[in-house]
């Protein structure tokens, strides 16, 4: 075994442990904030897997999109909507748990069966490594042109939509003609404007 | 369409204006970097307090007649005057006198009103202690001669800005007998004394 | 194109000539650049802290650190030692695991980003294909650490500061990535080495800052916001939030945030100098100098001098930018959070989009000047 192979093996082991451990944590932990942070761990170890598979660009994209955007968004969601509510015990909750367990076990056995039945063959092609970006670009502009363009137009629309939404000025809740309701007004004494007060009051 | 173009043009103009102002600010900051620091290295260098500096109050026990004017003019009746009436001389004899500098606001009213001038302001301002009760000075502590910056061999005394020669901003390395800007008070008095008989 | 000096090749050859197997020689070489960069990055903290304090002092007509070491150069070391020996307090109701992890997650990606910072033709830890994209990806991890620190401190100021920091770095990441994209469009490569090589040949006139002035400004503003430097330091705005997400931290955990912010500042300055100011290139082209003094560009002594001067050049450009950042700190007042987000989303994002489109158009129109 050469040095590179040894490093790869050890890294693979660590990544697998990290990935499976944090994935289990996401599902099993009670605290939803822990789950969200551990989800980031899962994404990062997946990025590590991509690096082991010689796909550096996909790894970086994985970190940027999933860790940097999706996971932060999830965390934002949790932290901004963190209303503590008393947990009302549901009667016959065991039915749901059993059903979830059944679905999970079924999915797991299905995946196991398909993994065991697939004839896994290691590709004999040499990985392109550094040239991967060029290859990906070529594929984007030939055989995957339509999905790529659709996705980019969608993202551009979202970007411009975000700018338009952000640039829009204050939108009043009430229609222009409609009088303001009493409930929304502050109980405050109406103030006189400076210009409407009589001048020279203090002299007298 | 034209309205939109005008909007974009105005926006660009405003951005350039903002950039220009930030640039001006940067040049001001940059200009400040070429100026010499005005730092006074405090424990090693000290500014000389001005003539009318209101520091710790000095008290002369023997001059005091225990009239308690200082107590009455004090905004918080701070000085404590402890006296006995001596029936033979029909005069008050002062026993103790104290001022708590933890409470004093150094307004100088007591000094102003004292009929015998037994109270005076000093230029001493370093009164920090570990215990605030130590700030309660009795007549012995009040009678101590004040510390002078100019007489401390460990300290380089520096002149304050108003006492520097005209155009000089830097108190370090001044020639020894350099004159402050403007006329001294006594010179103004002399001039007015010389001018008065003529008028 | 001259390939510069091949340090790795020379090192391995030297060791194999001494009788080591080439595999062992390569294994010995592997940690060397990493250690050098790690030490360099750590030393850059001391330099930057000293510069920050001295320049701030000069801008305010003060003296600054003076007594620790000559001209106060060891002040940062003294501060670091103080932080090391301080008691490490975890607040009673804080979450101890996340509280400890937060600063680490903030610091690690910053140091990892030094992987792609080149100081010369071969003076880079790895010239990976994704290059600058790796830096963008890594810098997007930091908000998670900030959120972690803010949440686990169990303090409302910390939480608000953490949320602000995350919101800020997410909204400024997009204009920054778009500005980088415009540069990448011209160099046809994500690799930092290629980006610098594309700017070489014409001396100072070839630098990207002339072709991408808007991109340069957008990137610099976004980089300041990412580093939470004034005028964008509102996650730590003392007047409103005590110290933001750092409020509950003491000792070396606080020190890690401190280290992270300064290393990030130097890193951003280095990246700006690579993307826009021609990296290790001189203001005058190297081949022109070689012709002038009449030596071949591949002469060993000339290469060694050019390479070491190139390192100096990169650092000089980076520190000039750090100086600008410090000057800006004492010039521009802090923006409000709504102004910050407005500026990011309503100004920088459209401008950077237009800049990208303009670059693409110019590239099609003038392939000679904008990278064919």
Per-residue pLDDT of A143-154, as tens digits, reads 888 988 899 899
Nearest to B32 among C59, C63, C332 (CB): C59
Share of chain C above pLDDT 70, in %: 97
Q: Which residue of C has its CA nearest to B22?
A: C332
What is the rounded average pLDDT of the residues C174-191?
87
CB-CB contact of A36 with C152 (8 Å): no
pLDDT over 70 at C55, yes or no: yes
Confidence of residue C198 (pLDDT cuts 50, 70, 90): confident
Q: Touch between chain A and chain B (3+ CB pairs, < 8 Å)? A: no
Please provide the average confidence, as pLDDT, over all residues in chain B: 87
Rounded to whole angstroms, the Cα distance separating B118 from B59 reads 6
Mean pLDDT (chain A) is: 79
**B19-44 b/e (C-beta count within 10 Å ≥ 16 → b):** eeeeeebbeebbeeeeeeeeeeeeee
What mean pLDDT comes out for the span A164-169? 70
- Contact status, residue B158 vs residue B49, Cβ threshold 8 Å: no
- Across the interface, whether the CB atoms of C342 and A166 are under 8 A apart is answered yes
- Regarding chains A and C, contact by 3 or more CB pairs under 8 A is answered as yes
Q: How does pLDDT run across C277-293, given as a tens digit for each residue?
A: 887 878 777 777 777 87
- Three-state secondary structure call for residue B93: strand
pLDDT in tens, A27-81: 888 778 888 889 989 999 999 988 888 888 888 888 888 888 888 888 888 877 7
Q: Which of A7-11, A138-142, B114-118, C299-303 has the lowest mean pLDDT?
A: C299-303
pLDDT digits (tens, 9 = 90+) for C119-142: 877 777 777 777 888 888 888 888
- Give the pLDDT of residue A109: 94
Residue C268 has pLDDT above 70, yes or no: yes
Q: Is the ipTM of this complex over 0.85?
A: no
Q: pLDDT higher for B198 or C47? A: C47
Mean of the pLDDT values across residues B81-100?
Answer: 89
pLDDT at C1 over 50: no
- Give the residue from chain C lying closest to A168, CA to CA: C346
State the maximum Cα–Cα separation within chain B, in Å, rounded to a whole number. Answer: 107
Whether B36 sits inside 8 A of C61 (CB atoms) is yes
Tell which B residues from 10 to 69 touch C, by Cβ distance under 8 Å: 15, 22, 25-26, 28-30, 32-33, 35-39, 41
Residue C253 has pLDDT above 50, yes or no: yes
Residue C3 has pLDDT above 60, yes or no: no
Using an 8 Å CB-CB cutoff, list chain A residues near C342: 166
Write out chain C residues lying below 8 Å of A3, CB-based: 23, 27
Q: In chain C, what percentage of residues exceed pLDDT 90?
A: 6
Q: What is the pLDDT of residue C2?
A: 45
Nearest chain A residue to C152 by CA distance is A33
From chain B, the residues in CB contact with C60 under 8 A are 32
Instruction: State the DSSP H helix or E strand holding residue A153, giving kind and residue range, or none if neither.
Output: helix A145-167
CB C149 within 8 A of CB C215: no
Number of cross-chain residue pairs from B and C with Cβ atoms under 8 Å apart: 33
Closest residue, chain C, to A167 (C-alpha):
C346
Does the distance separating the beta carbons of A63 and C137 come in below 8 Å?
A: yes
Per-residue model confidence (pLDDT) at position B147: 86
Report pLDDT for A185. 60
Taking CA atoms, B85 is separated from B65, B79, C25, in Å, by: 11, 19, 102
**A197 pLDDT above the threshold of 60:** no
Cβ contact A72–C170 (<8 Å) = yes
CA-based angle B183:B185:B186, to the nearest 5?
105
**pLDDT range class, residue A167, cuts 50, 70, 90:** low
Mean pLDDT (whole number) for C318-344: 87
pLDDT in tens, C140-160: 888 888 888 888 888 888 888
A180 vs C242 pLDDT, higher one: C242
What distance in Å separates residue A24's CA from the closest CA in chain C?
A: 18
Tens of pLDDT, residue by residue over A72-101, are 888 888 877 766 666 677 777 788 888 988
Q: What average pLDDT score do residues C79-97 get?
A: 86
Q: Which of C335, C145, C101 is nearest to C245 (CA)?
A: C145
Residues 49 through 108 of chain A touching chain C, CB cutoff 8 Å = 56-57, 60-61, 63-64, 67-69, 71-72, 75-76, 79-80
Q: How far is A26 from chain C (nearest CA, A)?
A: 15
β B156-158/B45-47 pair status: parallel
Distance CA(B176)–CA(C192), nearest Å, equals 62
The total number of residues written for chain C in this structure: 372
Measured between beta carbons, the chain B residues lying within 8 angstroms of C61 are 32, 35-39
Per-residue model confidence (pLDDT) at position A198:
53
Q: Is the pLDDT of residue B4 over 80?
A: yes
Closest by Cα among C250, C255, C243, C224 to C327: C224
pLDDT of residue A3: 74
**The predicted structure's pLDDT at residue A16:** 92
Q: Which residue has the higher pLDDT, C263 or C236?
A: C263
Chain A to chain C, count of Cβ pairs less than 8 Å apart? 85
B192 shares contact with chain C (CB less than 8 Å): no
For chain A, list the contacting chains (3+ Cβ pairs, <8 Å).
C
Q: Categorise residue C131: left if φ over 0, alpha if ψ from -120 to 50, beta otherwise.
A: left
Would you call C144 and A72 a contact, using CB atoms and an 8 Å cutoff?
Answer: yes
Asked if C48 contacts C320 with a C-beta cutoff of 8 angstroms, the reply is no
* pLDDT computed for residue A194 by the predictor: 60
Q: What are phi and psi of C9, to 5 degrees?
A: -60, -45
Bond into C231 cis (ω within 30): yes
Segments in chain C forming alpha helices (H): 7-17, 22-29, 31-59, 75-85, 96-112, 132-139, 142-152, 156-187, 192-198, 208-211, 213-226, 238-241, 251-275, 286-293, 300-329, 337-342, 349-365
> And the tokens for B150?
């100019």
CB C132 within 8 A of CB C116: yes
For the ranges A17-21, B6-10, C60-64, C238-242, the lowest mean pLDDT is seen at C238-242
Residue A203 has a pLDDT of 46
User: What subunits make at least 3 CB pairs under 8 angstroms with B?
Assistant: C
Which residues does chain C have within 8 Å of residue B32's beta carbon, measured at their own beta carbons? 58-61
* pLDDT for the residue numbered A166: 67
Per-residue model confidence (pLDDT) at position C346: 78
Averaged over B114-123, what is the pLDDT? 90
pLDDT at B197 over 70: no
Scan for tokens 């106060």, then name that residue: C72
Q: Mean of the pLDDT values across residues C359-365?
A: 86
| CB within 8 Å: C141 and A68 | yes
In DSSP terms, which residues pair with B121 in a beta bridge? B57
Tell me the chain B residues in contact with residue C59 when contact means C-beta distances shorter than 8 Å.
29, 32-33
Q: How far is B43 from chain C (nearest CA, A)?
A: 14
Given pLDDT bands bounded at 50, 70 and 90, which one contains residue C347? confident
- Name which of C130, C144, C159 is nearest A57 (Cβ-Cβ): C130
Rounded distance, CA A171 to CA C296, Å? Answer: 69
- What pLDDT is recorded for position B5? 87
Q: Inter-chain contact A163–C346, Cβ cutoff 8 Å?
A: yes
């Amino acid at each position: 075994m050469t040095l590179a192979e040894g490093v790869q093996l050890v890294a693979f082991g660590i990544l697998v442990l990290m990935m499976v451990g944090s994935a289990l944590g996401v599902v099993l932990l009670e605290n939803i904030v822990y789950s969200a942070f551990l989800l980031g761990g899962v994404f990062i170890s997946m990025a590590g897997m991509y690096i082991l598979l010689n796909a550096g660009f996909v790894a970086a994209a994985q970190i940027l999109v999933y860790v940097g955007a999706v996971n932060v968004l999830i965390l934002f969601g949790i932290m901004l909507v963190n209303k503590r509510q008393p947990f009302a015990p549901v009667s016959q909750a065991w039915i749901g748990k059993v059903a979830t367990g059944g679905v999970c076990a079924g999915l797991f056995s299905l995946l196991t069966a398909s993994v065991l039945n697939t004839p896994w063959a290691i590709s004999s092609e040499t990985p392109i490594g550094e040239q991967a970006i060029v290859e990906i670009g070529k594929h984007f502009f030939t055989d995957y042109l339509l999905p790529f363009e659709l996705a980019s137009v969608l993202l551009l629309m979202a970007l411009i939509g975000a700018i338009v939404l952000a640039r829009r000025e204050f939108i009043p809740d009430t229609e222009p003609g409609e009088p303001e309701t009493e409930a929304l007004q502050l109980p405050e004494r109406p103030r006189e404007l400076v210009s409407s007060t009589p001048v020279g009051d203090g002299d007298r | 369409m034209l309205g939109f173009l005008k909007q974009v043009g105005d926006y660009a103009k405003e951005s350039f204006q903002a950039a220009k102002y930030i640039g001006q600010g940067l040049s001001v900051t940059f200009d400040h970097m070429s100026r010499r620091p005005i730092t006074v290295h405090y424990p090693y260098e000290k500014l000389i307090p001005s003539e009318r500096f209101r520091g710790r109050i000095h008290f002369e026990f023997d001059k005091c007649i225990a009239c308690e004017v200082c107590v009455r003019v004090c905004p918080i009746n701070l000085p404590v005057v402890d006296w006995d009436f001596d029936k033979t001389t029909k005069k008050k004899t002062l026993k103790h006198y104290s001022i708590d500098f933890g409470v004093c606001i150094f307004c100088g009213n007591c000094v102003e009103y004292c009929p015998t001038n037994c109270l005076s302001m000093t230029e001493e301002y370093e009164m920090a202690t570990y215990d605030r009760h130590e700030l309660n000075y009795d007549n012995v502590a009040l009678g101590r001669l004040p510390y002078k910056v100019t007489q401390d061999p460990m300290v380089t005394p520096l002149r304050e800005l108003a006492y520097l020669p005209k155009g000089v901003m830097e108190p370090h390395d001044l020639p020894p007998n350099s004159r402050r800007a403007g006329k001294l008070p006594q010179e103004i008095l002399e001039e007015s004394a010389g001018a008065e008989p003529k008028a | 194109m001259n390939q510069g000096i091949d340090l790795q090749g020379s090192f391995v050859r030297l060791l194999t000539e001494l009788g080591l197997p080439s595999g062992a020689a390569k294994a010995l070489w592997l940690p060397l650049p990493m250690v050098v960069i790690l030490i360099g990055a750590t030393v850059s903290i001391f330099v930057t802290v000293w510069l920050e304090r001295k320049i701030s002092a000069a801008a305010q007509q003060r003296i600054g650190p003076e007594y620790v070491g000559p001209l106060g150069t060891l002040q940062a070391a003294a501060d670091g030692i103080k932080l090391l020996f301080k008691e490490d307090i975890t607040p009673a109701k804080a979450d101890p695991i996340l509280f400890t992890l937060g600063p680490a997650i903030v610091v690690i990606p910053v140091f990892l980003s030094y992987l792609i910072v080149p100081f010369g033709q071969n003076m880079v830890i790895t010239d990976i294909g994704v290059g600058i994209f790796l830096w963008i990806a890594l810098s997007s991890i930091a908000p998670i650490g900030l959120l972690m620190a803010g949440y686990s401190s169990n303090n409302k100021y910390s939480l608000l500061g953490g949320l602000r920091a995350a919101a800020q770095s997410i909204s400024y990441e997009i204009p920054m990535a778009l500005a980088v994209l415009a540069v990448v469009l011209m160099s046809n490569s994500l690799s930092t080495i290629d980006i610098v090589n594309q700017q070489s040949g014409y001396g100072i006139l070839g630098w990207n800052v002339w072709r991408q002035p808007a991109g340069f400004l957008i990137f610099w503003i976004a980089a300041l916001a990412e580093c939470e430097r004034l005028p964008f330091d509102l996650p730590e705005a003392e007047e409103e939030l005590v110290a933001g997400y750092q409020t509950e931290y003491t000792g070396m955990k606080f020190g890690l945030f401190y280290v992270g912010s300064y290393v990030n500042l130097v890193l951003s300055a280095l990246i700006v100098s690579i993307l826009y100011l021609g990296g290790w290139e001189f203001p005058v082209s190297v081949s022109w100098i070689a012709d002038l003094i009449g030596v071949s560009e591949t002469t060993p002594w000339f290469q060694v001098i050019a390479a070491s001067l190139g390192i100096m050049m990169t650092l000089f450009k980076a520190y000039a930018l750090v100086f600008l950042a410090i000057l800006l700190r004492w010039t521009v007042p802090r923006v409000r959070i709504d102004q910050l987000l407005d500026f990011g989303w309503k100004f920088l994002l459209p401008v950077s989009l237009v800049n990208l489109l303009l670059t693409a158009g110019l590239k099609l129109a003038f392939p000679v000047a904008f990278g064919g």
